[in-house]
Homo-oligomer: A and B are copies of this chain.
């Protein structure tokens, strides 16, 4: 396969660094362009920002000259790690100019003609892009992935859709890396819990319905299920944990739920896409797992781990799900979206 050059919009921030790390050694994509604010443009990346992740900044990325966020010289495929405060216009400008914008930003997710994709769950939603291009007069497109906590929740729910999901109650315990850098103040989180993450509950509630919905007549009909989220921040570095209760129209036994989780495979697995994990979900039989520090990073951070599937006295079934928020929930899901799009022939 030929190498595809890619760029990152917002490449100096925390999410941008996660893209840089995740793209290291990618078999299809080669990072050749980084766009950031005017303040950084013209500098080498290593001089424009400090590396916040483990180890050192990858040398090949550090040598790139940061561009400003204008469509001119960027590759066709750009990942957007832009802050929500600036993403709306810039992403539109790139899509208008013909770029394929695979965005982790929240700005366009809920627009009716923008696909909100988790590749194992709803690859068919890519069909929205034809309407998007037609109605907006764009040569390019914007394709989005959900909020990090929503990714973990929806991957755990997708195998259970066949049981007729009716209600979902999810309480999260989210890692500090989800808030970027500097993000959560240490005075707020050391030996503490913050029972609030701005607009996170709304995102989980609405994005889940859209992702689990079906495309009909070129539109997404959201899943007709009620979703309620309690979002909490805890002193964990990476890995969101979601205590989940679900009711179903058909009343599956806990064993049926476990079997469905383990059996789940999606298009990325069928096509053997480079970033696809062997299984989207691994069920852990131990009574005290999954745990974010011990599990979230396994399988390259692309698998969601589920445990403790059991009867719920209030809804039908309860379980705990755990996924890596900055990989499976951000950079990794976006790259997998791009791989899906390549496999669909959406790139030139």
Contact call B186/A314, Cβ cutoff below 8 A: no
CA distance A215 to B186 in the complex (A): 41
With A226-B314, A228-B318 in contact, is A243–B190 under 8 Å at CB? no
Contact call A294/B196, Cβ cutoff below 8 A: no
- Oligomer copy total: 4
CA distance A234 to B236 in the complex (A): 9
Contact call A192/B236, Cβ cutoff below 8 A: yes
Contact call A195/B234, Cβ cutoff below 8 A: no
Stretch of A29-37, A163-171, A335-343 with 4 or more beta carbons under 8 angstroms from chain B: A163-171
- Interface size class of chain A, counting residues whose CB lies under 8 Å from the partner chain: 35 or more
Binary interface encoding of chain A residues 281-292 relative to chain B, with 1 for a CB under 8 A from any of its CBs, else 0: 000001111111
A273-302 with Cβ < 8 A to chain B: 286-295, 297-298
Residues of B with C-beta under 8 A to A287 = 196
A176-235 with Cβ < 8 A to chain B: 176-177, 179, 181-196, 205, 226-228, 230, 232, 234-235
Contact call B189/A234, Cβ cutoff below 8 A: no
A41 at the interface (CB under 8 A from B): no
Question: Of B52, B53, B192, B228, which is within 8 A of A314 by CB?
Answer: B228
User: Shortest Cβ distance from A25 into chain B, in angstroms?
Assistant: 16
CA distance A287 to B201 in the complex (A): 13
User: Which residue of chain B is the closest to A236 with respect to CB atoms?
Assistant: B191
A287-344 with Cβ < 8 A to chain B: 287-295, 297-298, 307-308, 312-315, 318, 320, 322
Residues of B with C-beta under 8 A to A195 = 241, 243, 288-291, 307-308, 320, 322
Contact call A173/B232, Cβ cutoff below 8 A: yes
A55 at the interface (CB under 8 A from B): yes
A89 at the interface (CB under 8 A from B): no
A245 at the interface (CB under 8 A from B): yes
CA distance A292 to B235 in the complex (A): 13
Known: A184-B185, A193-B292, A228-B313. 7 other contacts (CB 8 A): A55-B294, A55-B295, A188-B291, A190-B190, A191-B236, A192-B291, A193-B291
Residues of chain A at the chain B interface (Cβ within 8 Å) = 14, 50, 52-55, 167-169, 171, 173, 176-177, 179, 181-196, 205, 226-228, 230, 232, 234-237, 241, 243, 245, 286-295, 297-298, 307-308, 312-315, 318, 320, 322
Q: Sort A-B residue pairs by CB-CB distance and give the 5 closest, nearest first.
A: A171-B171, A182-B185, A230-B243, A191-B191, A192-B293
What are 30 pairs between A and B in contact, CB < 8 Å? Answer: A14-B187, A54-B295, A167-B314, A168-B314, A169-B245, A169-B314, A171-B171, A173-B193, A173-B234, A176-B186, A176-B187, A177-B187, A179-B186, A184-B185, A185-B186, A186-B235, A191-B237, A192-B236, A193-B234, A194-B291, A195-B243, A195-B288, A227-B313, A228-B312, A228-B313, A228-B314, A228-B315, A228-B318, A232-B243, A237-B293
